[in-house]
Amino acid sequence: MKLSVYYSGILFISLLLVISSCSHTSNLTSEQLEKLKSTTAGNWISSQWLDAVHDAGSPARVRGISCMEIIVSAKLDSLAWIEPGKELLVYPIALLNDTSFSVKSADKRYTFYYAADLKTMFLNDGKQNTRLKKLPSRYAVLSLRGWMSGLTLFLNEDQIAGEYKLIDETGDEPSLCALTAYGEVHGLAGYKKYRLCYGGSCLEQSEKDVITLSDEKSADRYIWKWESDTLKFYSVRNTGTLEQPALEPHEVMFKLVKK
């Protein structure tokens, strides 16, 4: 008798799990589900933020619009929400129809739906829409807690990656250097990696664009600025306090002319 009840309990729990796993697809045909997967699965970034960066000329000049990446799983059962400087969040997906789905945080529901061109998706938080742009899959190379992010690679390529001539103020022949989209530094003595600031505490510490150059042992922060085809790295000085830094450009340390 006890054994029968035991197996009945297992059967009931298994049935609940099957129902739960299928509940988000029950209103869609297999064709509709596959279309939704092919359209929405992948990496999305806020195109409103990116447009604002292009209009303003730099990430640091954009305030009040979040830089974000949404990664929709291939199975369309969950998504990762990434904002620079914040913890990566994962939400289960509830499918609404063949063009939209939603996720729910502790205090808010977010609805995602895509436009007729299949290249744009909108995120609605109940008050306003945020326009999202899908990234090509080649950008998804950085693993964050098992999710393949494309945000850093895309923004590096968009903002700063390229081959340069390093101008020597002494008048010597310029040497060649490169900043790759993968955050690598070549030909800039003492440095092997770089990281741009798009959000978090580094954005709060300066109204200018901050870059961190590093090797295996140390890291230095600079303020970077485009002047026509020339990229300048300035040393930083803190005009604030240790508790509340205010980083300002000081002296030009590197002058790079794009090839």
Contact residues for 188 (Cβ-Cβ < 8 A; gap 6+): 166, 177, 213, 254
**Token reading at 83:** 């904002």
What number is the average pLDDT over the span 225-230?
93
- 68 has pLDDT over 60: yes
What number is the average pLDDT over the span 40-55?
94
Query: Is 253 in contact with 213 (CB distance < 8 Å)?
Result: no
Among 9-13, 97-101, 105-109, whose mean pLDDT is lowest? 9-13
pLDDT digit string (tens) for 188-220? 988 999 999 988 888 889 999 999 999 989 999
Among 94-108, 163-177, 227-241, whose mean pLDDT is lowest? 163-177
- 258 has pLDDT over 60: yes
| % the chain with pLDDT above 70 | 89
114 band by pLDDT with thresholds 50, 70 and 90: confident
pLDDT of residue 161: 97
118 or 43, which is more confident: 43
Query: Is 234 in contact with 223 (CB distance < 8 Å)?
Result: yes
pLDDT digit string (tens) for 125-134? 999 999 999 9
pLDDT digit string (tens) for 156-177? 999 999 999 999 876 677 899 9
Helices (H), the chain: 2-22, 30-40, 47-56, 151-159, 201-204
**Token reading at 228:** 């026509």
pTM for the full predicted model? 0.82
The domains of the chain, with CATH numbers, are 27-143 (2.40.128), 160-258 (no CATH)
Average pLDDT, the chain: 86
Report the distance separating Cα 11 and Cα 6, nearest Å.
9
Please list, residue by residue across 131-161, b when 16 or more beta carbons sit within 10 angstroms of its beta carbon and e when fewer do: bbbbbeeebbeeeeeebebbbbbbbbeebbb
Longest dimension (CA), the chain: 93
Report the distance separating Cα 73 and Cα 136, nearest Å.
15
Amino acid (one-letter) located at 37: K
pLDDT of residue 22: 40
pLDDT of residue 20: 37
Query: Is 247 in contact with 206 (CB distance < 8 Å)?
Result: yes
pLDDT of residue 8: 39
pLDDT of residue 171: 62
Query: Is 72 in contact with 41 (CB distance < 8 Å)?
Result: yes
Q: Where are the extended beta strands (E) located within the chain? A: 42-46, 69-72, 78-82, 89-92, 94-97, 100-104, 109-114, 120-124, 129-134, 142-144, 147-149, 162-166, 175-179, 185-186, 193-196, 210-214, 219-227, 230-238, 247-258
